[in-house]
Structure 1
């Protein structure tokens, strides 16, 4: 019995360590052998593009977004704009219609989804009306750098590149310790993604800005999101999903923990399925580095909720066996105590903020699991107001 519990303790501890420390460090070591690889670009490659913006009740930001996309530096005869309104019930559709009337020279269309089924469904429906060679997708609250589309297209230098995501730059980092913690997470994650892309393929993108060939578009189940599903799908098809961080989208992070928690719960609405979404991932001989990337960057992260519970429970059982287990239990309890202190005192200490943010992330995974098991997961969600 004791041996079994020790095995659980060390496996769970390894999962936590590898997800948060081991994998990022290993990537940097592996990258030393790939430093000479650089992202190839061809700025003469300027195919036809549709920029799709999915919106649900985005009256606060949609006008700014429309003005933003018209500033994109790309040949006017090769770019179109498609606003996919996911059954908006506020003034979003009226604002878009009025904008279209005021800008007859721009190729802007409004596609109205009649029944709200979420962002992915809206993309699936709207994509069927697209005739251009490429799709660039972006969120209503993400403002694009004027060279963003040009940068994305320039990186499609070979047929095996099926997906390219840009860089999400958080503009309100200093607004609160919540937005600062999210920005710190992104800074760390962007480094890993750049290395993964340089070596082979990334394991996930971001909804703020990404592109794919229109002919390669796939209708995912509405409960899924492109951020995690597209790179995985293309990787298993033997193609590459990469990032070009010179294509930039600017966005606000949640400034209050309630908004950020809801966002993370929404992100975890399929967490049980994505731990190991396809058995083929285990075939390292065929998928090579992608198998390694997915295990470290995705599987271990998606197991943090259960790993933390198991490592704590097993540690409680083992605490009296030796000073080592007593010390590790003390460390765990202190970690959670610091998060509790942050929650109760709202301290401005950055270390406490990061610990608290991490614990909220784990809690959101548990809520995601609960929603799945109770049938409460849904393909749509209420937006975080502090990100608008």
Structure 2
């Protein structure tokens, strides 16, 4: 009887872990093709294209034909803490955005900066850049909560100090809000190498971008990316102090309260450096893990079946993903107690080989490119270890909402060429 319970535990954990990473992407692709929107989510589009290529072409035509008079007023809000090395380049990038004169305000919200950040921002006051300086470091969530009500734009673009937006990104994000049902628009973040400026989007990032596209077509996109997303100011739900992953909680709280749609625009592009070290990347993932478990308590009503596709994507893509470390531990523990059975002796050998490959992956060189596939187990195990640690940090209350600036190169972000739509890049 005990062995039966262990067998059930093992196969259940295997199924749930496989579901969130393998089965769910297949299902969401099928559902997006069967039930997703076929016309670009842009109310300026009046035609009914029949193919993906036609959709992109019509979307481009709609963008090109967008009269400036119909674009909303925008507020670009950049939260910063001790960003003297990057803030000037970020402001110059913001000032270069292609948006009608008089319709874009640029605001830097400085969260208790103790370096030269505030002085640098003040130098741009004559060019219309506003500084909201807060004396205490309270965390990004508190800064956003206090700053958004002080903005003048109908739509707020939220971004980071180390993010550089493509010149047309603001215009692309804003054009979507001609549809009154749309409340949040998430742009595409391109990761770049800190030293070369080259696109270093990895397999996992491409995998996540694929999921965003499918979920967006179903009207079930989950959150945004803090580097580049826009929200109607009237729908900004406020954000509790101490919220760890505000870019996830804010959009979904807006949807929970208003029923608005959250969409993804892969052509509204921003660039950002990758973390310079594996340690910095692991620390970032621990923080995201803690924030994920925190957000379940904030957003659990979205799991109600009445929320349709959102409930399905939230459970499958997020909740099960965050719980995956415990599925892996459950598999390992149950398997260890079932070794007398030849089947489970074989599954244990498979697990041992997988974790051995993950360990070896730490020492594999970056070239040739084919070796990156052998590093996938390393990335998978590292990510789940970070989620597990994040869970315990959240339980112990050791993951606060204040931020620790990630070290970056002094050169800043070098923008690679943005390929035109349809180039296949």
Q: Which moved more, 1:135-144 or 1:151-160?
A: 151-160
Partner residue in 1 for 2:269? 248
**1:174-323 residue pairs with structure 2 within 5 A?**
180=200, 183-224=202-243, 225-237=245-257, 238-275=259-296, 277-284=298-305, 286-323=306-343
Partner residue in 2 for 1:155? 176
Gaps of 5+ in 2: 45-65, 413-425
**1:98-113 residue pairs with structure 2 within 5 A?**
98-100=123-125, 104=126, 106-113=127-134
Q: Which moved more, 1:6-15 or 1:64-73?
A: 6-15
C-alpha distance in 2, partners of 1:375/1:239? 32
Contact 1:51/1:82 (8 A) holds in 2: yes
C-alpha distance in 1, partners of 2:294/2:3? 31
Partner residue in 2 for 1:333? 352
Q: 1:125 aligns with which of 140, 143, 146?
A: 146
C-alpha distance in 2, partners of 1:376/1:248? 34
Partner residue in 2 for 1:74? 99
Contact 1:256/1:386 (8 A) holds in 2: no
Shift of 1:41: 5.0
C-alpha RMSD of matched pairs (Å)? 2.1
C-alpha distance in 2, partners of 1:218/1:26? 31
Partner residue in 1 for 2:14? 13
When residues 226 and 353 of structure 1 are mapped into structure 2, their CA distance, relative to the original with a 3 A threshold, is: same
C-alpha distance in 2, partners of 1:99/1:199? 42
C-alpha distance in 2, partners of 1:226/1:383? 16
C-alpha distance in 1, partners of 2:145/2:319? 27
Partner residue in 1 for 2:385? 363
C-alpha distance in 2, partners of 1:86/1:107? 20
Q: Deviations over 1:99-152 (max 9, x none)?
A: 33xxx2x32100011211111111111112112211111111010011111101
In structure 1, the residue corresponding to 2:267 is in which secondary structure? Answer: strand
C-alpha distance in 2, partners of 1:173/1:36? 37
In structure 2, the residue corresponding to 1:270 is in which secondary structure? Answer: helix
TM-score w.r.t. the length of structure 1 is 0.91
In structure 1, the residue corresponding to 2:386 is in which secondary structure? Answer: helix
Partner residue in 2 for 1:39? 41
In structure 1, the residue corresponding to 2:354 is in which secondary structure? Answer: helix
When residues 8 and 37 of structure 1 are mapped into structure 2, their CA distance, relative to the original with a 3 A threshold, is: farther
Shift of 1:276: 6.2
TM-score w.r.t. the length of structure 2 is 0.84
Shift of 1:346: 4.6
Contact 1:155/1:244 (8 A) holds in 2: no
C-alpha distance in 2, partners of 1:320/1:157? 64
C-alpha distance in 2, partners of 1:258/1:21? 27
Q: Deviations over 1:280-308 (max 9, x none)?
A: 33332x21111111111111111012111
Q: Deviations over 1:190-215 (max 9, x none)?
A: 11111111111201210110111111
Partner residue in 1 for 2:190? 169
C-alpha distance in 2, partners of 1:49/1:379? 27
Gaps of 5+ in 1: none
Contact 1:274/1:299 (8 A) holds in 2: no
When residues 21 and 386 of structure 1 are mapped into structure 2, their CA distance, relative to the original with a 3 A threshold, is: farther
Q: Deviations over 1:329-369 (max 9, x none)?
A: 111111111121233x3544313322212211111112211
Question: 1:48 and 2:73 equivalent?
Answer: yes
C-alpha distance in 1, partners of 2:404/2:173? 29
C-alpha distance in 2, partners of 1:351/1:188? 13
C-alpha distance in 1, partners of 2:298/2:13? 20
C-alpha distance in 1, partners of 2:334/2:113? 49
Shift of 1:275: 4.4
Contact 1:234/1:241 (8 A) holds in 2: no
C-alpha distance in 2, partners of 1:328/1:231? 41
Q: Which moved more, 1:290-299 or 1:41-50?
A: 41-50
Contact 2:164/2:272 (8 A) holds in 1: yes
Q: Deviations over 1:18-64 (max 9, x none)?
A: 11111111111112223623222543331111100111111111111
Q: 1:379 aligns with which of 401, 404, 415?
A: 401
